[in-house]
Amino acid sequence: MRLANQVIEILEDAIVAIGLAVATIATCADVIMRYVIGSAISGGGELTNVSIIWAAMIGAAVAARTGVHIGVDVVVKRMPAQVAKVTVLVSLLISALFTGWVVFLGFQLVQFSYSTQQTTMELLWPRWPLFLSVPVGMALMTYHLLQEFFRRLRLPPDEFLESVEAETDLEVAQEVQAAHPGA
Protein backbone atom coordinates (compact mmCIF):
# COMPACT_ATOMS: atom_id res chain seq x y z
CA MET A 1 0.00 0.00 0.00
CA ARG A 2 2.88 2.36 0.71
CA LEU A 3 4.25 1.89 -2.78
CA ALA A 4 0.84 2.67 -4.28
CA ASN A 5 0.61 5.83 -2.16
CA GLN A 6 4.10 6.90 -3.21
CA VAL A 7 3.26 6.37 -6.88
CA ILE A 8 0.01 8.33 -6.49
CA GLU A 9 1.83 11.18 -4.74
CA ILE A 10 4.51 11.33 -7.43
CA LEU A 11 1.90 11.32 -10.21
CA GLU A 12 -0.20 13.99 -8.50
CA ASP A 13 2.77 16.26 -7.93
CA ALA A 14 4.00 15.72 -11.50
CA ILE A 15 0.60 16.49 -13.05
CA VAL A 16 0.29 19.70 -11.02
CA ALA A 17 3.85 20.78 -11.86
CA ILE A 18 3.55 19.94 -15.56
CA GLY A 19 0.14 21.59 -15.81
CA LEU A 20 1.40 24.81 -14.26
CA ALA A 21 4.58 24.72 -16.36
CA VAL A 22 2.66 24.21 -19.61
CA ALA A 23 0.24 27.01 -18.67
CA THR A 24 3.11 29.36 -17.87
CA ILE A 25 5.02 28.56 -21.06
CA ALA A 26 1.90 28.80 -23.25
CA THR A 27 0.93 32.14 -21.72
CA CYS A 28 4.44 33.58 -22.05
CA ALA A 29 4.75 32.37 -25.65
CA ASP A 30 1.34 33.83 -26.44
CA VAL A 31 2.28 37.24 -25.01
CA ILE A 32 5.69 37.28 -26.72
CA MET A 33 4.16 36.35 -30.07
CA ARG A 34 1.67 39.20 -29.76
CA TYR A 35 4.56 41.64 -29.51
CA VAL A 36 6.76 39.95 -32.12
CA ILE A 37 4.30 39.20 -34.92
CA GLY A 38 1.28 41.12 -33.70
CA SER A 39 -1.00 38.13 -33.15
CA ALA A 40 -1.40 35.44 -30.54
CA ILE A 41 -0.60 31.76 -31.00
CA SER A 42 -3.69 29.91 -32.11
CA GLY A 43 -4.89 27.81 -29.18
CA GLY A 44 -2.44 29.22 -26.65
CA GLY A 45 -5.17 30.43 -24.35
CA GLU A 46 -7.06 27.18 -24.64
CA LEU A 47 -3.92 25.16 -23.85
CA THR A 48 -3.40 27.36 -20.80
CA ASN A 49 -6.98 26.78 -19.64
CA VAL A 50 -6.76 22.99 -20.04
CA SER A 51 -3.44 22.87 -18.17
CA ILE A 52 -4.70 25.02 -15.30
CA ILE A 53 -7.91 23.02 -14.97
CA TRP A 54 -5.99 19.74 -14.70
CA ALA A 55 -3.51 21.30 -12.26
CA ALA A 56 -6.35 22.69 -10.13
CA MET A 57 -8.33 19.45 -10.01
CA ILE A 58 -5.32 17.34 -9.09
CA GLY A 59 -4.08 20.14 -6.82
CA ALA A 60 -7.32 19.85 -4.84
CA ALA A 61 -6.49 16.18 -4.25
CA VAL A 62 -2.96 17.13 -3.18
CA ALA A 63 -4.47 19.61 -0.72
CA ALA A 64 -6.67 16.85 0.70
CA ARG A 65 -3.63 14.58 0.98
CA THR A 66 -1.54 17.17 2.79
CA GLY A 67 -4.40 18.48 4.93
CA VAL A 68 -4.30 22.09 3.77
CA HIS A 69 -8.02 22.44 3.03
CA ILE A 70 -9.76 25.01 5.17
CA GLY A 71 -10.89 23.70 8.54
CA VAL A 72 -12.20 25.19 11.75
CA ASP A 73 -10.00 23.45 14.29
CA VAL A 74 -10.41 26.25 16.85
CA VAL A 75 -13.91 24.93 17.55
CA VAL A 76 -12.78 21.29 17.48
CA LYS A 77 -10.03 21.97 20.03
CA ARG A 78 -12.58 23.31 22.51
CA MET A 79 -14.78 20.22 22.30
CA PRO A 80 -14.51 17.19 24.54
CA ALA A 81 -12.16 14.63 22.97
CA GLN A 82 -14.87 12.14 21.94
CA VAL A 83 -17.13 14.86 20.47
CA ALA A 84 -14.19 16.36 18.57
CA LYS A 85 -13.28 12.98 17.11
CA VAL A 86 -16.85 12.26 16.00
CA THR A 87 -17.18 15.78 14.52
CA VAL A 88 -14.02 15.48 12.44
CA LEU A 89 -14.81 11.93 11.35
CA VAL A 90 -18.32 12.92 10.25
CA SER A 91 -16.85 15.91 8.40
CA LEU A 92 -14.34 13.70 6.58
CA LEU A 93 -17.02 11.15 5.72
CA ILE A 94 -19.44 13.78 4.38
CA SER A 95 -16.62 15.31 2.34
CA ALA A 96 -15.71 11.90 0.91
CA LEU A 97 -19.35 11.18 0.05
CA PHE A 98 -19.63 14.55 -1.70
CA THR A 99 -16.45 14.10 -3.72
CA GLY A 100 -17.52 10.52 -4.53
CA TRP A 101 -20.79 11.90 -5.91
CA VAL A 102 -18.85 14.41 -8.02
CA VAL A 103 -16.80 11.48 -9.38
CA PHE A 104 -20.02 9.82 -10.53
CA LEU A 105 -21.33 13.04 -12.10
CA GLY A 106 -17.93 13.71 -13.67
CA PHE A 107 -17.93 10.34 -15.40
CA GLN A 108 -21.39 11.07 -16.74
CA LEU A 109 -20.05 14.35 -18.16
CA VAL A 110 -17.10 12.54 -19.75
CA GLN A 111 -19.41 9.92 -21.28
CA PHE A 112 -21.74 12.60 -22.64
CA SER A 113 -18.86 14.60 -24.11
CA TYR A 114 -17.34 11.48 -25.65
CA SER A 115 -20.62 10.25 -27.14
CA THR A 116 -21.46 13.65 -28.64
CA GLN A 117 -17.90 14.11 -29.95
CA GLN A 118 -17.56 17.61 -28.48
CA THR A 119 -14.36 19.45 -29.40
CA THR A 120 -12.63 22.54 -28.09
CA MET A 121 -13.13 25.80 -29.96
CA GLU A 122 -9.55 26.64 -31.00
CA LEU A 123 -7.50 23.45 -30.95
CA LEU A 124 -10.39 21.21 -32.01
CA TRP A 125 -9.29 18.61 -29.47
CA PRO A 126 -11.88 16.25 -28.00
CA ARG A 127 -13.34 17.78 -24.82
CA TRP A 128 -13.69 14.57 -22.85
CA PRO A 129 -10.00 14.50 -21.75
CA LEU A 130 -10.49 17.98 -20.27
CA PHE A 131 -13.66 16.86 -18.49
CA LEU A 132 -11.84 13.74 -17.27
CA SER A 133 -9.98 16.01 -14.85
CA VAL A 134 -13.15 16.22 -12.73
CA PRO A 135 -13.64 12.52 -11.91
CA VAL A 136 -9.90 11.86 -11.70
CA GLY A 137 -9.24 14.78 -9.34
CA MET A 138 -12.29 14.04 -7.22
CA ALA A 139 -11.52 10.30 -7.08
CA LEU A 140 -8.05 11.11 -5.77
CA MET A 141 -9.55 13.54 -3.29
CA THR A 142 -12.06 10.90 -2.13
CA TYR A 143 -9.20 8.43 -1.71
CA HIS A 144 -7.20 10.86 0.44
CA LEU A 145 -10.22 11.85 2.53
CA LEU A 146 -11.01 8.21 3.24
CA GLN A 147 -7.36 7.55 4.11
CA GLU A 148 -7.50 10.37 6.62
CA PHE A 149 -10.85 9.14 7.95
CA PHE A 150 -9.48 5.65 8.68
CA ARG A 151 -6.21 7.02 10.08
CA ARG A 152 -8.11 9.21 12.53
CA LEU A 153 -10.68 6.52 13.29
CA ARG A 154 -7.93 4.34 14.80
CA LEU A 155 -6.74 7.11 17.14
CA PRO A 156 -8.00 7.08 20.74
CA PRO A 157 -9.97 10.29 21.53
CA ASP A 158 -7.22 11.82 23.71
CA GLU A 159 -4.52 11.20 21.08
CA PHE A 160 -6.93 12.55 18.48
CA LEU A 161 -7.11 15.97 20.16
CA GLU A 162 -3.34 15.99 20.60
CA SER A 163 -2.92 15.27 16.88
CA VAL A 164 -5.23 18.19 15.98
CA GLU A 165 -3.20 20.52 18.21
CA ALA A 166 0.10 19.18 16.83
CA GLU A 167 -1.11 19.72 13.25
CA THR A 168 -2.09 23.29 14.08
CA ASP A 169 1.29 23.95 15.70
CA LEU A 170 3.04 22.51 12.64
CA GLU A 171 0.95 24.69 10.29
CA VAL A 172 1.80 27.81 12.30
CA ALA A 173 5.50 26.92 12.25
CA GLN A 174 5.38 26.36 8.48
CA GLU A 175 3.63 29.72 7.96
CA VAL A 176 6.25 31.50 10.06
CA GLN A 177 9.04 29.72 8.15
CA ALA A 178 7.50 30.69 4.82
CA ALA A 179 7.11 34.31 5.89
CA HIS A 180 10.63 34.50 7.33
CA PRO A 181 12.87 31.96 5.52
CA GLY A 182 16.06 33.04 7.28
CA ALA A 183 14.60 32.83 10.80
Look at residue 174 in the predicted model and tell me its pLDDT: 58
Residue 87 and residue 149 in contact, taking contact as beta carbons nearer than 8 Å: no
Q: Which domain holds residue 111?
A: 2-179
Mean per-residue pLDDT pooled into runs of 10, the chain (183 residues): 92 97 93 86 89 97 85 79 90 96 98 96 94 98 95 86 65 61 63
Residues 6+ apart with CB under 8 A from 104: 135
The whole-model pTM stands at 0.83
Look at residue 179 in the predicted model and tell me its pLDDT: 66
Total domains, the chain? 1
Question: How many helices and strands in the chain, by DSSP H and E?
Answer: 7, 0
